[in-house]
Amino acid sequence: MLGGGFPRSHNIVVMGSFGTGKTTFGLQFLFQGIKEGDKGIFITLEEDEESIIMDGQSFGWDLRPAVEQEQLVIVKLEPTDALSTISRIKSDLPKFIKSFDASRIVIDSVSLLNMLFETEHEKRSNLFALTQMIKETNATCLMTAEVNNKNPNASRDGLVEYTADGVIVLQYEEPKDKGEISLTLRVVKMRRTDHSRRVRPYSISDGGILVHTGAEVF
């Protein structure tokens, strides 16, 4: 249901609150491709290359060989230094993405990326230009997005879920008896596919994100 299953050149958004496993989701998507021989790019605004590799290790995915063989490139964008980061996003990054010929690209997170820009207008322009450029490379792109504080079914910026080809929503379920908090996944939108709209429980464990496709959420 996850991993390799997105239509080629789709632009997918994985939306969820902190702690729902968005980064893990992106890593798993990329690792799946690496196992199949694909090239991948992981663009991160949160963690450095070493932390990303350690994140993978904690789920049993050894990303280091792929990094060393330049099958996987981890790009760290500094969320601090807005001006120089924006110039990287506008010139170096597009050149690199076009030349590298990746099949899978992850941006973690598009919400932090948007924060680099001051105005609504700049956020939108950049987002449209970046996704357009990636779409032209034919890579499948997965973006993680933080949710709106007041509506867990909307992203922080309220835009990316409308322009994306697919949207997956990760959510907490706080059970009434206040025991274990469960996690649920919904595929809310997936253009050009006949997707299920069931609410699925999932867990984040040793092997990454595991969707309980057989289980029902009560």
Q: Which of 77, 154, 185, 209 binds a second copy (CB under 8 A)?
A: 154
Would you call 121 exposed, middle or buried from its count of C-beta atoms within 10 A (0-12, 13-18, 19+)? exposed
Among 3, 49, 96, 124, binds a second copy (CB under 8 A): 124
How far is residue 64 CA from its own chain's centroid?
A: 20
Number of residues that bind a second copy (CB under 8 A): 67
For a second copy, the binding residues in 15-74 under the rule CB under 8 A are 17-19, 23, 46, 51, 54-55, 58
User: How far, in Å, CA of 43 to CA of 168, rounded?
Assistant: 19
From 110, 112, 139, 209, residue interacting with a second copy (rule: CB under 8 A)? 112
Strand ranges in 17-161 using DSSP code E only, listed in sequence order: 40-44, 72-76, 104-108, 140-148, 151-155
Q: How far is the CB of 178 from a second copy (least distance, A)?
A: 4
Measured from the CB of residue 212, what is the shortest distance to a second copy in angstroms?
12
Give backbone dihedrals phi and psi of 69, rounded to 5 degrees, phi first. Answer: -90, 10
Q: State how far the Cα of 215 lies from the Cα of 218, in Å rounded to an integer.
A: 9
> What are 97's two structure tokens?
């993405």
Which residue in the set 28, 32, 103, 109 belongs to the binding site for a second copy (CB under 8 A)? Answer: 109
Provide the terminal-to-terminal Cα distance of the chain, rounded to the nearest Å: 20
Q: What angle do CA 67, 33, 127 make, to 5 degrees?
A: 85
Pattern 186-205, binding to a second copy, x per CB under 8 A? x-xxxxxxx-xxxx----xx
Q: Within 13 A of 23's CA, how many CA atoms are on the CB side?
A: 19
CB of 74 to a second copy, least distance (A): 16
* Site pattern 79..108 for a second copy (x: CB under 8 A): xx-x--------------------------
Which residues of this protein are in contact with a second copy, per CB under 8 A?
17-19, 23, 46, 51, 54-55, 58, 78-80, 82, 109, 111-112, 115, 118, 121, 124-125, 128-129, 132, 146, 148-151, 153-154, 156, 158, 161-164, 167, 172-174, 177-184, 186, 188-194, 196-199, 204-206, 216-218
